[in-house]
Structure formats: structure tokens, C-alpha cells
Amino acid sequence: MNFLKAFFESFTNPTFYKLTLSAATPLLFASLGGMFSEKTGVVNIALEGIMLLGAFTGVVGAALFGSPWIGLILAMLVGIGAAALHAMASVNFQANQIVSATAIILLAQGVTGFLLEPVFGQPGSTPIYDKIPEVKLTFLKEGSFLHGMIGSLSPLIYVALVMVIVSWFIVYKTRLGLRIRAVGENPEAADTLGVSVYGIRWFGVLMSGLFASLGGAYLSVGELGQFSENMTNGKGFIALAAMILGNWTPKGALFACLLFGAAEALNEQLQSNPTLAISSSVKPLFNLIPFVITLIVVAGFVGLTRPPAASGTPYEKKG
């Protein structure tokens, strides 16, 4: 009975919706990034690692240059750099794309953990710095439902939503997008018509690095203002599940990420709900819910959604 009341309280609380948008944003960035990569035929499960690097670099930028915006730009550059490693291994050297990505995730965890002490003087987490200031919609009435929902959001949330439209436009309306889709389905056919398979795949992978890093940076300089070890906490993988659920389209990714974001928001709301009074020892049981949902999604939707045909298969140019 208490649970139903708690659910109702959550859904009628504007904070729930704000949290949903906030939780969906990093997922959306990473998910769009993953989509770009896979649409060209390269599987990139290293999103988790690149997000982590983005989160770290964002704070480094904020600390060293005093501006979270610079941190954001640095994060994008680092993301592209990490993705370049994956691109080189997967595209030019036909490496096993899963293993290469696993290496990058480990590298990200290792490097970010390693650099905490040398750069910030303390292990485990960084001090708190300025985060990106929120966009305040002052024309909304204080205390209203709408104000509670969207009155004060990070600009990155708006950026993410715009990116959905931009991604859709690129993939389905431009010449580049046509080539991306061709390379992902039948790279050999594209090759015989003079389309650069390697070039298109590099583009897809670098985009995934750019986006994933942005998503990670949102977690640090967009929300908290600090970095802590392994703060991405599986979000990179949830983003992959969202990409699958969304059938490798920007629109689908948006809905899937909102769904996962809502799950996380609900989790938070229930945990902080005074009526339920969840003790801290039980909290882990709630925390595992998003992962169970992801598991069900990934298992249940395979076969119902369709990845690009050449996804995951290295392509080798002929002699």
C-alpha cells in the first residue's frame, strides 16, 4: 500500500520529471554516439570508458582553467582521441572490436584513477568546482509544476535534445548519411563505388567519442561539479541498451533514454521518499532495478530490432 502511495507521490512531483531529463541526458549523448558508430558498422562498447574520460577531463578543465565550459571542450577533444584509438584498431587493423573496446574501458578506469592523486592531490574523488550554470526560465511562476520541472535545467539538456534532431538530419537527409548507412550494411558495395569505407567508419567512431565524452562531462561539470572514481557506474552500457531498444535511430534513442532516465529518477524518488523510509542497507536492491530492466530490454528486443548488417565485422580493403 505504501508503495503505491510512494509511486503516486513520485509521479506527481515535478522533481521526478526534472530528474528524468537529467538522468536521460548523459544516456542520450552516449546512445547517439553509439548509434553513429554502429551505423557505419563498428561496434563501440567503450562508451562507458569514454564517458568516464569525459567526466574526468571536464573537471580537469574546470580546475585548471577555472571554467567548466573549457572543461567541456577539453572533454570533447579527449573523447575524440580515445575513440581514435578504437577506430585505428578496429578499422585499420581489423581488431576484434569488443576486445579493443574492453581495453579502452579498462584504460579509462586506470588512467582516471591513476591521475587523481598527481593532478588533484587526493585519491578517490576531486574537490568540487564550478559547474555549468543552469538555464533559468524566469518567466515561469515560482512554485508551479512547470517551473519545478523545467524552470532550471542545465543547458546541456537542451543541447542533447537538439542533437537528436541534428543526428536524424545527418543520417537520413544528407549525402554523408546515405553513405554512412550504405557502409554499415554492405561496405563492399560502397567500396566498389568509390566511397571511402575507412573514412566513413572513422567518422562514425570519432562522433561516438565526441558524444559519449560530452555525456560523461555532463555528469561531472554539468551536474555535480566534481569527479569520483568510476562515477559512470554502468551508464555507458545502459546507453547501449537504449540504442538497441531504439532500433539504432535517433528518435528511438530519445524514447529509450527517457525510459531509462525515468527508471533512475523513480529509483531516486522512492529512495528518498519519507513514507517508505528505505534504510541504507536496502538501497542496493533498488539500485539494481535499472540493470534488471536493461537486461530484460536487451534480451527481449534482440530480433525485434535490427542492427546494421555489417555491424561488428571488420572490413579489409582488397589488394
- Contacts (CB under 8 A) with another protein, residues 41-60: 45
Find the shortest distance in angstroms from Cβ 216 to another protein. Answer: 17
Within 88-107, which residues bind another protein (CB under 8 A)? 88-90, 93-96, 98-100, 102-107
Which window, 29-37, 62-70, 155-163, 174-182, contacts another protein (CB under 8 A)? 174-182
The whole-angstrom distance between residue 285's C-alpha and the CA centroid of its chain comes to 24
* Residue 237 makes contact with another protein by CB under 8 A: yes
Which window, 50-58, 136-144, 193-201, 219-227, contacts another protein (CB under 8 A)? 193-201
* Residue 318 makes contact with another protein by CB under 8 A: yes
Rounded-to-integer distance, Cα 102 and Cα 71, Å: 25
Which window, 75-83, 115-123, 246-254, 265-273, contacts another protein (CB under 8 A)? 115-123
* Residue 303 makes contact with another protein by CB under 8 A: yes
Instruction: Name residue 89's amino acid.
Output: A
* Residue 125 makes contact with another protein by CB under 8 A: no
Buried b (16+ CB within 10 A) or exposed e, 145-156: eebbbbbebbeb
- Residue of 190, 212, 265, 276 interacting with another protein (CB under 8 A): 190
- Residue of 64, 128, 146, 288 interacting with another protein (CB under 8 A): 288
* Residue 4 makes contact with another protein by CB under 8 A: no
- Residue of 84, 135, 178, 278 interacting with another protein (CB under 8 A): 178
Find the shortest distance in angstroms from Cβ 106 to another protein. Answer: 4
The angle, 0 to 180 degrees and rounded to 10, between the axes of the packed helices 47-65 and 235-245 is: 130
State the SS3 of 69-111: HHHHHHHHHHHHHHHHHHHHHHHHCCCCHHHHHHHHHHHHHHH
Per-residue string for binding with another protein, 133-172, x by CB under 8 A?
Answer: ----------------------------------------
The grid coordinates listed for 230 are: 568510476
* Residue 7 makes contact with another protein by CB under 8 A: no
Beta-carbon contacts of 167 under 8 Å, excluding residues fewer than 6 positions away, are 32, 35, 36, 250
* Residue 319 makes contact with another protein by CB under 8 A: yes
The grid coordinates listed for 151 are: 524552470
Phi, psi of 215 (to 5 degrees): -60, -40
Rounded-to-integer distance, Cα 254 and Cα 289, Å: 20
The grid coordinates listed for 118 are: 598527481
* Residue 64 makes contact with another protein by CB under 8 A: no
Q: Which is nearer to another protein, 107 or 135 (CB)?
A: 107
**Of residues 119, 122, 134, the one with CA closest to residue 68:** 134
Find the shortest distance in angstroms from Cβ 137 to another protein. Answer: 31
Q: Kindly report the CA angle at 154 between 289 and 152, in degrees rounded to 5?
A: 95
Q: Which is nearer to another protein, 53 or 156 (CB)?
A: 53
